[in-house]
Chains A and B, each alone.
Chain A
């Protein structure tokens, strides 16, 4: 292997246009005060157009100019010119260059793929005239909890969102109907639609007191064992969980006990800081318990190449690269992986910083942990145990874990990310731009994964809490407050509501990193509870819904499409945890890879388990899940696609599992009538015009229609 291509150079013309568009919109509608804000207004222009050649990466820096820090940008260059003379645009070389008509002088250079429009140029000119104040990039400064905006809303979130809506002359949409709201919060918190019993009880309570009924429902859902399943799936995407080794051989592996650890931890509302520490370094905790060792499976979800003829060291290092990149994106929201081959082009992460992080993950063995039934997160799910010839119980379950090596490996920088080209030796440390790792001793031992994990969730870390609350926000609204939820660096989009993001991030930490509290806080806001209907007026005023003038219809995640069908048809077996299962899939679906894998379809209860438990082969993922964008567990997936394709229609119309659900629902149509079947799928009463269509059909046809409705597979 020569070098790993990290593709960090950004050809950002398109990006610039979009940013300019967005910014133009925001400025035009006077949403902000007239003052320029460096992070919001200026930095994105510099990042998109200038920093590739005048940024952090010394190797690609042109003319000795860097525009990412004030001191360098305002110093005299070798050429004698000064790019930025604070307060004096006319004397600033930057202004004369961006306004030059001379193709040899104009910046960005023609053919670079970058260009500035008139609005960009005006912003740069105004900014320099105002003294060219640089700020540290917002995401590298710890969140500051500002005062709540004034307003009448009781809920803090509604104050922040309302302030911006009102400034734009808009208001919230009305609250969604009781049925829509209950179905929404059910799907978001547990991934299961309400049963008719739950629905009817809720409607009765709502008639008395809507707020009380809703809050009680939220409490009930957060206490449900299915909450942990729903949130676990969110986490498993980031952990790149799968049940096979990946690459071409893709043999099965056993790591489901770790998946169950996640479900149980989330159901127990384990504080997110502890959740982090146990997964990254549970084995290093004093007197580590079996459960804490099991938790380290997080970073064993890397692929393993079983192909012949490979260099094992190469693939071991590849999995360390993956661990560094995954840690960077999941906790810090940074594309740290870019610094594997060279200094980061845009973010202040040097290649040395990268290998210092690498050093934390370079010293582990990768054993299997044997688990007896009692050691499992859900002991009742344990496969039958066998006894050895001495009558001792042999654990039937193992799980992949990390364990620190006695003999540490030496870590070096790799030239161009190529492990055959070691360079300077490095020791474990965190990136210089972020707060330093606390090292109490004068001559401390080398920092460990445990130090790293604690540092990630220390209150001084400016990123982790923001990144997590932003992802929960994204889960509940379809888009994060920072739209580039996996890039909080200089190339990321600035937050749409920076004060709210910081308020939530600090609130999350104040509440002891409780994810349940965070969910409760958000879903009880009116911002969350409002209707998702898109009127023409709203589309005009807030076309992409960045101001949150309404909720957002979101197509359900792949596993939840399945879970919804199983629940509506009454087939769901709601057991929590245990070994992965094999529901029906199309014949031959696992035969596309080098090694054809058997798929022994489960019978009995395991045929009807939640999508979360379906066995996932990385090379040949279950079609009914991948067609709805379930990630194959190859790299950390922090945001799923929501595609909308004809193959999804074929899966819902014709797949054996779909037809089985339809037959079960058809029986319900016959026994309970069309209206009840309709409510099981959508939670609402059908309109007469809808019933009119359905009554022309046979029960099976009607059931198939209901399970194929856009509304059934959408959270409204």
Chain B
């Protein structure tokens, strides 16, 4: 991993911000002369100073922050949003060879089937836009006029961990920066007491792939997602150890600062200034993170909006509320993972029992989040994204009960706020929902579009790492989906 090439503009911004921060926010007791001279030069050591300070985007942004509701496992678009009478009519028949010739699927050697599976759900059109939604998502159905549907997203990889990486980093290779890292790298964060990129998790298990999904790859670790935990400290090592009280902790942090300042004066190394700021932020987080996760001050009406029954219970609904509280505090990128959408048809993951259950877990809270953001004036410049790493096949898998295999040719995502055109459905799939017939879209296009709304040009947001210039959208063509934007 190598130092970043910070452009001159960014380096200057960084420096002016650093200077301002130190004088205004930190009150670090270094002589003004010494610090002034420290910050005056453009050496690369400066690149590490204040990595999360807000930065100017490439152009005027339409949105400032993102909440990504990641439906881990791959939700079935055919049982939630895609009404396909033809699929229902041909239930049990083999899908025409023309669809599947030359295609590869997960579980090719075992359970992958080629017979079409009708949806057991009932669909209706909702709102002024007339979007189709199944009976599994009544609350989502109630807000369709605020959503923008994308029916034709496609991906390259059909196994869970690589596909999750793909959705997050634009490649199935490990060790690349994820979307949240790119965005906090590009824009910094407005949160002074919290990390710029936070990950929240719910469901029976963690997402497959683990920490690499929010890893910063070749970007400094300052930009990696900080997972908030559901039990114990929300951030690892956030609590002061047993037997150490807050005044003692404060004395320690103050003394560390006093000695670090002396060393800064003796060595002239700007890294020490960054470390001093890091200790101050850490100390503030010890207060601000527990305050963030304490939702006892929220009204019962708000809790009801999200469908939170027990405020102490760790659920997707609680995480949606935390997401709102995080973006209120200036956090740039919040990602929620909810497992498990991998409905193959097995005894613990089928379309009959488990899809309705998980749909209930996310439906009201997702809709509640949109409504809550909207009434607080936050939706306008916050993008909410809903989707998984892929969708599911029109062909059924019949194990003990029914399910569907992983499918990457066309799956549904929805977006809200941040300049996405409300009520629009973009892209159309064929009679079985197998592939696009119009508006074919790729994960890279979604990436380019999200960056664009944040004022970032996906061509320009690049770093040199491992001998290569890397970008979220890679080297293949990617386009901003202007049709989906206001």
Binding site for B on A (CB under 8 A): 1-12, 14-15, 17-18, 21, 113, 246-248, 250, 303, 305, 307-311, 329, 334-335, 338, 420, 483-487, 489, 491-492, 532-536, 539-540, 543-545, 553, 555, 586-589, 591-596, 619-621, 623, 626-627, 629, 632, 634-635, 637-651, 653-656, 659, 687, 689-690, 693-694, 696-698, 700-702, 704-705, 708-711, 714, 716
Q: Is the CB of B206 within 8 A of A592?
A: yes
B contact residues around A329 at 8 Å (CB): 466-467
Q: Is the CB of A592 within 8 A of B278?
A: no
A301 to B235, CA, bound (A): 31
Q: Is the CB of B160 within 8 A of A697?
A: no
Min C-beta distance of B1 to chain A, whole Å: 4
Interface residues of B in 331-379 (CB under 8 A from A): none
A contact residues around B427 at 8 Å (CB): none
Known contacts A14-B7, A653-B249, A710-B271; A487/B210 CB under 8 A: no
- In the complex, B43 has a CB within 8 A of chain A: yes
By beta carbon, the residue of chain A nearest B166 is A5
SS of A interface (majority): loop
B contact residues around A544 at 8 Å (CB): 43-45
A623 to B249, CA, bound (A): 21
B contact residues around A21 at 8 Å (CB): 8
A contact residues around B294 at 8 Å (CB): none
- In the complex, B173 has a CB within 8 A of chain A: yes
- In the complex, B296 has a CB within 8 A of chain A: no
Q: Is the CB of A7 within 8 A of B470?
A: yes
Q: Is the CB of B159 within 8 A of A307?
A: yes
- In the complex, B260 has a CB within 8 A of chain A: yes
A contact residues around B108 at 8 Å (CB): 309, 311
Q: Is the CB of A309 within 8 A of B406?
A: yes
Min C-beta distance of B268 to chain A, whole Å: 4
Q: Is the CB of B41 within 8 A of A596?
A: no
Known contacts A5-B475, A586-B236; A656/B156 CB under 8 A: no
A contact residues around B268 at 8 Å (CB): 533-536, 539
Question: What are 10 pairs between A and B in contact, CB < 8 Å?
Answer: A11-B459, A113-B460, A307-B159, A309-B108, A627-B221, A645-B222, A646-B279, A647-B195, A651-B236, A701-B248
Q: Is the CB of B5 within 8 A of A14?
A: yes
Q: Is the CB of A644 within 8 A of B48?
A: yes
B contact residues around A593 at 8 Å (CB): 206-211
B contact residues around A646 at 8 Å (CB): 195, 278-279, 281-282, 285
Q: Is the CB of B41 within 8 A of A310?
A: no
User: Which of B174, B215, B226, B468 makes the CB contact (< 8 A) with A647?
Assistant: B226
Q: Given contacts A536-B37, A632-B211, A643-B222, could you give 11 more A-B pairs where the C-beta distance is less than 8 Å?
A: A6-B468, A11-B462, A309-B159, A486-B467, A539-B37, A594-B206, A594-B207, A651-B236, A653-B279, A696-B251, A708-B256
- In the complex, B162 has a CB within 8 A of chain A: yes
B contact residues around A634 at 8 Å (CB): 174-175, 212
Q: Is the CB of B476 within 8 A of A5?
A: yes
Q: Is the CB of A637 within 8 A of B107?
A: no
B contact residues around A307 at 8 Å (CB): 159-161, 208
- In the complex, B229 has a CB within 8 A of chain A: yes
- In the complex, B241 has a CB within 8 A of chain A: yes
Min C-beta distance of B114 to chain A, whole Å: 16
Known contacts A1-B157, A3-B156, A14-B462; A659/B1 CB under 8 A: no
Chain B residues within 8 Å of chain A by Cβ, number? 102
A420 to B263, CA, bound (A): 59
- In the complex, B485 has a CB within 8 A of chain A: no
A contact residues around B256 at 8 Å (CB): 705, 708-709
B contact residues around A305 at 8 Å (CB): 159, 161
B contact residues around A596 at 8 Å (CB): 205-206
User: Which of B233, B272, B459, B474 makes the CB contact (< 8 A) with A710?
Assistant: B272
Interface residues of B in 426-472 (CB under 8 A from A): 459-460, 462, 464, 466-471
A553 to B275, CA, bound (A): 13
Q: Which 6 A-B pairs have the closest CB atoms?
A: A487-B467, A248-B208, A619-B210, A593-B210, A649-B282, A309-B107
- In the complex, B267 has a CB within 8 A of chain A: yes
A190 to B453, CA, bound (A): 50
Q: Is the CB of A309 within 8 A of B174?
A: no
Interface string of B241-271 (1 = CB under 8 A from A): 1001000110111011011101100111101
User: Which of B41, B173, B238 makes the CB contact (< 8 A) with A540?
Assistant: B41
B contact residues around A248 at 8 Å (CB): 160-161, 208-210
User: Which of B8, B107, B262 makes the CB contact (< 8 A) with A17?
Assistant: B8
> Among the interface residues B51, B238, B278, which one has the most CB atoms of the partner chain A within 10 A?
B278
Min C-beta distance of B367 to chain A, whole Å: 27
A592 to B212, CA, bound (A): 11
Q: Is the CB of A644 within 8 A of B274?
A: yes
By beta carbon, the residue of chain B nearest A586 is B236
A contact residues around B398 at 8 Å (CB): none
Q: Is the CB of B282 within 8 A of A656?
A: no
A contact residues around B174 at 8 Å (CB): 246, 303, 632, 634-635
Q: Is the CB of A705 within 8 A of B459?
A: no
A contact residues around B138 at 8 Å (CB): none
Min C-beta distance of A243 to chain B, whole Å: 15
A627 to B159, CA, bound (A): 28
Interface residues of B in 104-150 (CB under 8 A from A): 104, 106-111
